Amino acid sequence: MSKTWLITGCSAGFGLSLTRFILAQGHNVIATSRNPSKTPELVKEITSNPNGRWLSLDVTSPKDKIETVIREAKKEFGGIDVLVNNAGYSVLGAAEDIPEDKAKAQFEVNFWGMIRTTQAVLPQMRSRKSGTIVNISSIAGLDALPTCAIYAASKFALEAWSEALSREVDSLGLRVLIVEPGAFRTNFLTKDAAPKIPPSEAYRTGVVQTVLDRFDTMNGAQIGDPDKAAKTIFEVVLGTGVGEGKTNMLRLPLGPDCYARATGSNKRRRENLEAMQEIAISTNLE
């Protein structure tokens, strides 16, 4: 049985790969982007499929405007079965150097945008007692590298919110899935998608500059295949293929680099927790 998917951030990257793959499986897709007029050929490609639609959706818009778009989307196919919160970008730079306005803008898209669209879609899912919220996070939502302080913070926040939501809606018949990609060959590390804050003097040598330079060399050389990721996400949502028996899982790590970093992060946390055990259990009232 085909489902109706609404996906944010479809002009490139994971959003576009997901849209194309899901349409190819015969499902309905409502693709969205902030400014569809900038990608007329993509819009034409998607809407030429009878199961494809493309709507303008800026996730930083006020909640009432987003709710209007969601109502319009619902009219297209009678309801939304799967919401994929994919819209996002990264600000890179030393934590000390990132201006407050840049940090707030990062959260507006990566965190608050996800909340607005989810809150707009949840009522119709609750009324049907069926639906899946897919939130695209990152390995940065588990492991914060130098230069990624604000981006990682937005993804840590997304993961915490998603984890709490999953516990709240499970008894209502709804599911939440957090997707944690590693490095995939998308436009994510381009200047537009990952603007860099020039390091101040204290950070022009050392780890901050080293990581910024590494990201420059990674752009276009990532080994992750976004089309394979799209297929995997699709199957894990539906519980088919590689996703069979995995529909009770909250997190979907993608990429061997993601798995390695997550494993290392978990190991460091466990070692920290065990080293602090005696202190942790010593603070009750006598």
Active site residues: 137, 151, 155
What is the 3 state secondary structure string of the chain? CCCEEEECCCCCHHHHHHHHHHHHCCCEEEEEECCHHHCHHHHHHHHCCCCEEEEECCCCCCHHHHHHHHHHHHHHHCCCCEEEECCCCCCEECCCCCCHHHHHHHHHHHHHHHHHHHHHHHHHHHHHCCEEEEEECCHHHCCCCCCEHHHHHHHHHHHHHHHHHHHHHHHHCEEEEEEEECCECCCCCCCCCCCECCCCHHHCCCHHHHHHHHHHHHCCCCCECHHHHHHHHHHHHHCCHHHCCCCCCCEEEECHHHHHHHHHHHHHHHHHHHHCHHHHCCCCCC
Cα–Cα distance measured from residue 278 to residue 286, given in angstroms and rounded to the nearest whole number: 15
Nearest to 98 by CA among 213, 234, 197: 197
Query: What six digits make up the tokens of 122?
Result: 């949840």
Cα–Cα distance measured from residue 156 to residue 71, given in angstroms and rounded to the nearest whole number: 29
